[in-house]
Structure 1
Amino acid sequence: MAAHPGEVAISIVDERLAEEAAPLVRQLVEDRVASRLTAQDPTLWGPDAESEARVRLSWTSLATTSRPLLAEIDALRAELAAEGIDRVVLAGMGGSSLAPEVITATAGVPLVVLDTTDPGQVADALAGELARTVLVVSSKSGSTVETDSHRRVFTAALAEEGLDPARHIVVVTDPGSPLEKTSVEAGYRRVFQADPDVGGRYSALTAFGLVPAGLAGADIAGLLDDAEAAVPVLSGDSEDNPALVLAAALGAAHARGAEKVVLADTGSGTKGFGDWAEQLVAESTGKNGTGLLPVVVEGPQSPGFSNAGDDATAVSIGSPADGAKVGTTGSLGGLILLWEYATAVVGKLLAINPFDQPDVEAAKKAARALLDSSDAPQPSPAFVSGPVEVHPSEGLLPDGTDSLAGAVHALLASAPAAGYLSVQAYLDRLDDASAALLRTLLARASGLQTTFGWGPRFLHSTGQYHKGGHQNGVFLQITGAVEQDLAVPERPYTLGGLQVAQALGDGQVLAGHGRPVLRLHFTDRAAGLARLVEALAEVGR
Structure 2
Amino acid sequence: MSVSVTFGEDDLTEQASETAGRLVSEGVPQSLAAGDPTLWGPEAAPEAAVRLGWLNLPLTSRPLLGEIGELVEWARAEGLDHVVLAGMGGSSLAPEVITGSADVPLTVLDTTDPGQVRRALEDRLESTLLVVASKSGGTVETDSHRRIYEKAFRDAGIDPARRIVVITDPGSPLELSAREAGYRVVLADPNVGGRYSALTAFGLVPSALAGADVERLLDDAAEVLPLLSRSEGNPGLDLGAALGAAAVAGRDKLVIEDGLSEISGLPDWIEQLIAESTGKSGRGILPVVGADPGDADDELLAGIDTDGVVTVAGPLGAQFLVWEYATAVAGRVLGIDPFNQPNVAESKENTAKLLDRSELPVGTPILVDGPVEVHGELPPGMEAPKNLSDVLTGLLEAIPSDGYLAVMAYLDREAAFDAPYPEGASFEEMTDVWSAADPATLRGMLAVRTERPVTFGWGPRFLHSTGQYHKGGPQNGVFLQITGAVENDLEVPGKPYTLGRLQLAQALGDLGALASRGRPAVRLHLTDRAAGVAHLLAASREV
Fold match (TM-score > 0.5): yes
Deviations 1:391-437 (A, max 9, x none): 13266574532210111111122211110010101111111472111
Q: Is the 8 A contact 1:397 1:410 kept in 2?
A: no
Picking from 196, 200, 208, the partner of 1:206 is: 200
Once the two structures are superposed, the pairs formed by residues 294-305 of structure 1 within 5 Å of their partners are 294-298=287-291, 302=292, 305=293
Picking from 84, 87, 93, the partner of 2:88 is: 93
Task: Indicate yes or no: 2:364 matched with 1:369.
Answer: no
Report the equivalent of 1:490: 494
TM-score (ref. length: structure 2): 0.94
Query: What SS class does the counterpart of residue 47 from structure 1 fall into?
Result: coil
Q: Output the amino acid matched with 1:184.
A: R
Report the equivalent of 2:426: none
Task: Indicate yes or no: 2:413 matched with 1:429.
Answer: yes
Note the residue ranges of structure 1 that are not aligned, 5 or more in a row: 1-5
Q: Distance in 2 between matches of 1:220 and 1:398?
A: 53
Q: Distance in 2 between matches of 1:399 and 1:435?
A: 26
Picking from 401, 413, 424, the partner of 1:417 is: 401
Structure 2 CA distance for partners of 1:536 and 1:67, relative to 1, 3 Å: same
Query: What SS class does the counterpart of residue 60 from structure 1 fall into?
Result: helix
Task: Report how far residue 378 of structure 1 moved.
Answer: 2.8
Task: Report how far residue 38 of structure 1 moved.
Answer: 1.5
The alignment yields a C-alpha RMSD, in angstroms, of 1.2
Structure 2 CA distance for partners of 1:169 and 1:340, relative to 1, 3 Å: same
Task: Indicate yes or no: 2:279 matched with 1:286.
Answer: yes
Report the equivalent of 2:508: 504
Q: Distance in 1 between matches of 2:125 and 2:534?
A: 35
Deviations 1:70-96 (A, max 9, x none): 111111111121121121100000000
Picking from 89, 102, 111, the partner of 1:107 is: 102
Report the equivalent of 2:115: 120
Deviations 1:52-106 (A, max 9, x none): 1110001010001101111111111111211211211000000000000000000
Query: What SS class does the counterpart of residue 250 from structure 2 fall into?
Result: coil
Task: Indicate yes or no: 2:320 matched with 1:336.
Answer: yes
Q: Distance in 2 between matches of 1:52 and 1:172?
A: 22
Q: Is the 8 A contact 2:296 2:451 kept in 1?
A: no
Q: Tell which deviates more after alignment, 104-113 or 257-266.
A: 257-266
Picking from 466, 471, 487, the partner of 1:467 is: 471
Report the equivalent of 2:430: none
Report the equivalent of 1:349: 333
Q: Output the amino acid matched with 1:447.
A: E
Task: Report how far residue 129 of structure 1 moved.
Answer: 1.5
Q: Is the 8 A contact 1:193 1:207 kept in 2?
A: yes
Deviations 1:252-285 (A, max 9, x none): 2112211111101142210000000000000110
Report the equivalent of 2:247: 254
Q: Distance in 1 between matches of 2:152 and 2:108?
A: 17
Once the two structures are superposed, the pairs formed by residues 50-449 of structure 1 within 5 Å of their partners are 50-188=45-183, 190-238=184-232, 240-298=233-291, 302=292, 305=293, 307-320=294-307, 324-393=308-377, 398-432=382-416, 434-449=438-453
Q: Is the 8 A contact 1:396 1:410 kept in 2?
A: no
Q: Output the amino acid matched with 1:473.
A: G
Once the two structures are superposed, the pairs formed by residues 16-27 of structure 1 within 5 Å of their partners are 16-27=11-22
Q: Distance in 1 between matches of 2:477 and 2:161?
A: 45
Note the residue ranges of structure 2 that are not aligned, 5 or more in a row: 418-437
Structure 2 CA distance for partners of 1:319 and 1:408, relative to 1, 3 Å: closer
Query: What SS class does the counterpart of residue 445 from structure 1 fall into?
Result: coil
Q: Tell which deviates more after alignment, 269-278 or 427-436.
A: 427-436
Q: Distance in 2 between matches of 1:432 and 1:451?
A: 19
Count of residue pairs brought into register by the alignment: 523
Q: Distance in 2 between matches of 1:379 and 1:397?
A: 22
TM-score (ref. length: structure 1): 0.95
Task: Report how far residue 160 of structure 1 moved.
Answer: 0.5
Q: Distance in 2 between matches of 1:400 and 1:353?
A: 42
Q: Is the 8 A contact 1:90 1:114 kept in 2?
A: yes
Report the equivalent of 1:3: none
Q: Distance in 2 between matches of 1:78 and 1:12?
A: 45
Report the equivalent of 1:519: 523
Q: Is the 8 A contact 2:84 2:131 kept in 1?
A: yes
Query: What SS class does the counterpart of residue 315 from structure 1 fall into?
Result: strand
4+ aligned runs moved over 6 Å, structure 1: none
Deviations 1:14-39 (A, max 9, x none): 11111122111111222231222121
Task: Report how far residue 450 of structure 1 moved.
Answer: 0.8
Q: Distance in 2 between matches of 1:66 and 1:400?
A: 57
